[in-house]
Chains A and B, each alone.
Chain A
C-alpha cells in the first residue's frame, strides 16, 4: 500500500543552522508529494508541494525535490529561524485528483534555539 516514512524527532537546531528532514515514500503510480506544517495549537498548513518527478517545491525558504529514483522528498532550509519551530509532516496523494485522500507521515517536531 501507499505510505510515507519520515525521520523521527524531535530535531533541535540553533537559529541560522541548516535544516534537513528526510522523507521517503512508497506508492503505486505517480503520487503528488507535500510538506505540511502544524504550529502549536493550530491545524495543518500546506508548506509546499510537487506533482511530478524532478519538480522542486519551495515556500518561505523551504525546498523539497521530488526524487522518483530514490522515492524521496526531503525538506531543506538554508537558515532556520525561531519562528520555524513546529511539527512538519510529509504526505502524499495517490489518486488522480489533488483532492484525493492524503497519507501522512508521523511528523517531525522541530525546535529552534535562539
Chain B
C-alpha cells in the first residue's frame, strides 16, 4: 500500500501565477482533505472533498479551489499566488462511507510551495 502520495514534492512559483497540487489517497479511502502548514505553525484546514464535492471549508479565500475525481484523487488549485501562500501543503485521506463514523486521517509527505 503506497499510502497517501502527493506531487510534486517541491515547487517554486512567481507571485501572481497559478499552481496545481495533486494527491492520491490511500487505497480504500474516499475522502480527501487539504491543509496548509506555514513555517513554524500547525496545519490549517483548507477544505475537504467527498463524492467529488466540497463538503467542508476552512477560512481560506476563493483563490483556493479544489477538485476530486471519480478515482478519489484530488487537486488543490491556488490562483493569483501571494508571497504568503508559501507553505507546506498537506493532503490527508480517510474513509467515510455511508452512515459510518469513518477512519482517522492519513497524511501525505506534503508539497513545499515557495512563492517568490
A residues near B, CB below 8 A? 4, 34, 36, 42-46, 49, 89, 91, 96-107
Q: Report which of A43, A49, A103, A105 forms a contact with B45, defined as CB distance below 8 A.
A: A103
B41-70 interface bits toward A, Cβ cutoff 8 Å, 1 = contact, 0 = none = 111110010000000101000000000000
Q: Tell me how many residues of B have a C-beta within 8 Å of chain A.
A: 29
Stretch of B11-19, B75-83, B104-112 that contacts chain A: B104-112
Q: Which B residues are closer than 8 A to A by beta carbons?
A: 4, 31, 33, 35, 40-45, 48, 56, 58, 90, 92, 94-96, 100-110
Which chain B positions have C-beta within 8 A of A96? 101
Chain A contacts for B107, CB-based, 8 A: 36, 43-45
Q: Residue of A at shortest CB range from B9?
A: A41
Distance in Å: Cβ of B46 to nearest Cβ of chain A: 9
Would you list 21 pairs from A and B whose C-beta atoms are within 8 A, ordered by A residue? A4-B42, A36-B107, A43-B90, A43-B107, A43-B110, A44-B90, A46-B105, A49-B104, A97-B96, A97-B101, A98-B102, A98-B103, A99-B94, A99-B95, A99-B102, A101-B33, A103-B45, A104-B43, A106-B40, A106-B42, A107-B41
